[in-house]
Amino acid sequence: MDKMVFVNLPVTDMQRSIKFYEALGFIKNPEFSDKNGSGMMWGKNIWVMLLTHDFYKQFLKGQTIADTKKTNNSMTAFSMESIAAVKEFAQKAKENGGDFYHVELGMPEDQMYELEVKDPDGNILSAAWMSV
């Protein structure tokens, strides 16, 4: 069996989040979606699991959910096939309730290009292209 990656994100508005991630090219898998969460596929081996706060809290054992509009909890990077694809991904995010910004890494663009994308809940996705 191939290895898979599941990124779990707490969201405040499930339908808004599904629409946002679909606009970025994720595909909702109805077999792994219900009132508590939605499995959003980025290819067959990488998924973003959108989870309601109540459901997400069950996995925290006494911890609280970070307010990602004020405090960062994690940053997940997704590789893209080109600089143009990075820019398109970020622009789609902005057009669908998110935002993006660029961090200067001191690397030439023909080596690596990255934009930090925020979803409507403040979760950060890093869209990156590398010349490897």
Q: What is the pLDDT of residues 90-120, one digit of tens each?
A: 999 999 999 999 999 888 999 999 999 999 9
21, 42, 90, 120 from 97: Cα distances, Å: 10, 19, 11, 6
Q: Which CATH number is associated with domain 1-59?
A: 3.10.180.10
Q: Would the pLDDT of 84 be above 90? A: yes
Assigned token pair, 43 = 């290819």
Q: Which CATH number is associated with domain 74-132?
A: 3.10.180.10
- pLDDT, average across residues 47-69: 93
* Closest alpha carbon to 67 in 20, 123, 112, 23: 123
pTM of the full structure: 0.89
pLDDT digits (tens, 9 = 90+) for 59-77: 998 899 998 889 987 889 9
- Looking at the chain, the domain(s) classified CATH 3.10.180.10 span 1-59, 74-132
Angstrom distance (rounded) from CA 125 to CA 76: 5
